Amino acid sequence: MKLETKIGISTTDKIFVHGYDLTEDLIGEITLADMAYLGAAHRKPSAAESKMLNACMVAICEHGYTPSSLSARLTYLGAPEAVQAAVAAGLLGAGSVYLGAMEYVAQMLQEGIENYCEDADAARIASRVIGEREEKKLSIPGFGHPVHRPVDPRTPKLFSLAEELGFYGLHCQVMNEIHQQFCEKKGKTITLNVAGAIGSVMSDMGLHYSVIKSFAVAARAVGLIGHIVEEIESGRKHCAAQKLYDYVEENTVYLHHQKPEKE
């Protein structure tokens, strides 16, 4: 059996990653986010691509107590000898509600623009995307937030940076048109969240929707380090996971199931 890869190979004194000499071309020369881009695009990012990607990943790296950070803390409480298990547990919660929505945003935009490419006008494309999703009874990803209302502060920052760096293209335009039309249909302002911003910006960077969630997972893995360190610094008796566990234990009501009476 012969296995082939273009990703990396090692010799006695050299390591090559995606065709680059690791020690001469990459270490000290590019960021961790750049390495992620290298894996996805098979080349090092430009200065503008690097700044934009790093900004997107920083924007979703940390968001306080979330299902992923709580999962990491609780897992570390039970298995402090396996910090990798705590990080892994935190990443398993990356789905359609938390972190994963940016993939669905990108898919909606990329497929919508491809399907309606004859409508070069962003407003018409947005209208057709909304109409199709309504017809299929599909929700529109990238909207709403339990805390940030009516504006997710990360969204305008990322769009502003995208304009500055040259990544505010048709995908971003269509997403903002969808936002405007969606709000008009609802008769109120709906938050265009960070997943909507990142899904559209990364699409304008030329990244396929299938890989976009990978960047979100990588970013959140970095953020989880802080939660684990805080558990360590707080000590086992006073850490958040122990307090949560104690609270659940103290407030759990056991319900007895009565056996049916014999007739």
- Rounded Cα distance between 113 and 132, Å, is 13
Q: Is the CB of residue 191 less than 8 Å from the CB of residue 145?
A: yes
Which residue's entry shows tokens 């558990």? Answer: 231
Q: What is the CATH number of the domain that holds 158?
A: 1.10.230.10
The angle subtended at Cα 248 by Cα 242 and Cα 250, nearest 5°, is: 100
pLDDT at 262: 67
Question: Is 222 inside any structural domain?
Answer: yes
User: Is residue 21 classed as helix, strand or coil in its secondary structure?
Assistant: strand
User: Is residue 121 classed as helix, strand or coil in its secondary structure?
Assistant: coil
Q: Based on the fold, state whether residues 135 and 104 are members of the same structural domain.
A: yes
Domain count, the chain: 3
pLDDT at 263: 59
199's tokens: 């899904």
Which residue range(s) make up the domain with 196? 100-207
Residue 142: CB atoms within 10 Å: 29
pLDDT in tens, 191-245: 999 999 999 999 999 999 999 999 999 999 999 999 999 999 999 999 999 999 9
pTM given for the model: 0.91
Phi, psi angles (nearest 5°) of residue 9 = -155, 150
pLDDT at 254: 87
Question: Is 166 inside any structural domain?
Answer: yes
pLDDT at 146: 85
Q: Based on the fold, state whether residues 115 and 203 are members of the same structural domain.
A: yes
Question: Is 250 inside any structural domain?
Answer: no
- CA neighbours closer than 13 Å in the CB half-sphere of residue 176: 14
Q: Based on the fold, state whether residues 114 and 171 are members of the same structural domain.
A: yes
Residue 187: CB atoms within 10 Å: 6
Question: Is 249 inside any structural domain?
Answer: no
DSSP 47: H
pLDDT at 1: 93
Q: Based on the fold, state whether residues 174 and 197 are members of the same structural domain.
A: yes
DSSP 168: -
pLDDT at 98: 78
Q: Where are the alpha helices (DSSP H) in the chain?
A: 32-41, 47-59, 67-78, 83-91, 101-115, 122-135, 154-165, 170-186, 194-204, 209-234, 240-250
**Which parts of the chain have pLDDT scores under 50?**
none
Beta-carbon contacts of residue 95 (< 8 Å; ≥ 6 apart): none
Which residue's entry shows tokens 């008009």? Answer: 184
Q: Based on the fold, state whether residues 142 and 189 are members of the same structural domain.
A: yes
pLDDT at 128: 94
Q: Based on the fold, state whether residues 69 and 129 are members of the same structural domain.
A: no
Whether the bond between 150 and the residue before it is cis, its omega within 30 degrees of 0, is yes
Which residue's entry shows tokens 């992923």? Answer: 68
79's tokens: 């298995």
Q: Based on the fold, state whether residues 149 and 119 are members of the same structural domain.
A: yes
Beta-carbon contacts of residue 210 (< 8 Å; ≥ 6 apart): 103, 107
